[in-house]
Amino acid sequence: MTGKGLGDFDLVVFDWAGTMVDFGCRAPVAALIEAFARRGVTLGEGTVRADMGKAKADHVRALLAMPDVAAAWVAANGAASGEADVTALMDDLGPLMRQKAAEAAELIPGAAETVAALRAAGLKVASSTGYTREMMAPVLTRAAEQGYAPDHLVCANETPEGRPSPLMIYKACAELGVWPLSRVVKVDDAEAGIAEGRAAGCFTIGVSASGNATGLSRAALAALDPASRSTRLAIAAGRLTAAGADLVIETVADLIPALSGERRVRA
C-alpha cells in the first residue's frame, strides 16, 4: 500500500510510447531496426529495447557501444562508428520515426479517460519523451484527435541531458509552476524513465503491460494463455521495480484506481 492519493499531487508527467500511445512500444523498435539495417547491421528486438526511453541520439550511441553491435558495424562498414555515423543514423531515423510513430499513435485504452479524471481532480498533466519534437509532430496531432492533449511537452534535446537525468521533469515543473517534486507523479514504461522519476524525487509509477518491459502489441498480449501472460507481466513488473518504481500498474487505465486506493498493484 502506498498511502498516497490524488490529493497528494499537483502534476502527473506521462511518457508517450508504451505509456499513453503505441501499446507495446513497437514504433521506436521498428524504426531503429530499419535504420541500422540500412547500414548493414541486424539488430534483435531485445537489443533495441535495452536502452529504450533515452533520447533517440543517446539510444543510437548506446546501441553502437554494445560489443556485438560494434563488431557488426565494423564488419559491415569497414571502420568503427563515430559521431558522424550517429548523425547519419539520426538522419535516417527521423523520417522512419515520424512514419512509424504516426502509424502507432493509437491511445492506449483508458488514457483519455485517465487524463480527464486527473484534470477534474485539479491536477495538471505534462509529458516527456525520448522522441525529438519533429518525431512527435504526427503523434501530437493523432493524440489530440483522440482526446489527449497534455498541458506541457518536453522532447529530446530540449534539456542539456535526457533520461535518466531528471531535467525534463524539472523543465516541466518550472514552466508549469509546480513544486515541490514530491507532489509530482511520473508514469513510464521503461527503466530509463523510472530512473528519471526517481532522480527527480517524484512518486514514480511503472506500467508493465502496455510498454517496453513486456513489448507485445495489445492483440499479442491478449492472445497469451493466462499463465504466460502472468509470467510476462511479473517479469516486467520486476524490472520496473528494480529500476526504482514506487508502484507498478498494468496500464494507464489503472492509474486513478491505484491512486484512489481502489486498486493498488505492486511488483
Q: Determine what percent of the chain falls in helix, strand and coil, rounding each to the nearest 5.
A: 50, 10, 40
The yes-or-no answer on residue 56 being catalytic is yes
Q: Residue 222: how many CB atoms within 10 A of its CB?
A: 9
Question: Secondary structure of 212-252 in the HEC alphabet?
Answer: CCCCCCHHHHHHCCHHHHHHHHHHHHHHHHHCCCCEEECCH
What's the rounded Cα separation, in Å, for the pair 135 and 197?
A: 23
Contact 28, 18 (CB under 8 A): no
Annotated active-site residue in 4, 51, 54, 56: 56
Half-sphere exposure of 102 (CA within 13 A, CB side): 11
Grid cell at residue 26: 513497437
Return the closest-CA partner of residue 20 out of 207, 173, 175.
207
Half-sphere exposure of 42 (CA within 13 A, CB side): 0
Annotated active-site residue in 10, 15, 51, 58: 15
What's the rounded Cα separation, in Å, for the pair 7 and 246?
A: 17
The yes-or-no answer on residue 124 being catalytic is no
Question: Secondary structure of 82-138 in the HEC alphabet?
Answer: CHHHHHHHHHHHHHHHHHHHHHCCCECCCHHHHHHHHHHCCCEEEEECCCCHHHHHH
* Residues labelled catalytic: 15, 56
